[in-house]
Amino acid sequence: RKVLLLNGPNLNLLGTRDPAQYGTTTLAEVEARVVALGEELGVEVVCAQRNGEGDLVDLVHGARDWAGVVMNPGAYAHYSIALRDAVDAVEAPVVEVHISNVYARESFRHTSVTAPVAAGYIAGCGVLGYELGLRAALQRYPWSPA
Ligand code: DQA
């Protein structure tokens, strides 16, 4: 079984980008943690980061029948109908993760167009959210809660 860990625009800069919001853990460290948790849970975690909207759409399509997708869409969460439709189109449960508490920030971050079609949503838990997201995706909540 495979799970896709997908990070969107600007998340390649994790570790140095706005540490007050996103902390100092790098994307490579985040990916290593989630891969390790995957090994523990018996799934192969495949990691990808892209800045482009279409690339993210393609990667979601590629994981259509996987065990899950843990996705931080970055700013695309706030307005990308294309990414929303991709999430809606696939069988794989997609868990949306935001590192920061978007509701404590600018009002344009309070809307997510992808969240209504996601299987679950985690925000404001820092990079721990990615590990929580993996556990949640594997539960396939709400279709077959553990
Ligand atoms: C983010 C929140 C978004 O509003 C922002 O555009 C990001 C990161 C987060 O992880 O908190 O790029 O998705």
For ligand 1, say whether the CB of 109 is within 6 Å of any of its atoms.
yes
Catalytic one of 22, 76, 121, 130? 22
pTM (2 d.p.): 0.95
What tokens does 58 get? 């393609």
Strand partners, 47: 5
Whether 22 is catalytic is yes
Domains with residue ranges and CATH for the chain: 2-139 (3.40.50.9100)
Start-to-end C-alpha separation, the chain: 17
| Phi, psi for residue 48 in degrees, rounded to 5 | -150, 150
CB atoms inside a 10 Å sphere around CB 26: 15
ipTM of the complex: 0.99
Residue 144 has pLDDT above 60, yes or no: no
* pLDDT tens for each residue of 47-69: 999 999 999 999 999 999 999 99
Tell me the pLDDT band of 146, cut-offs 50, 70 and 90. Answer: very low
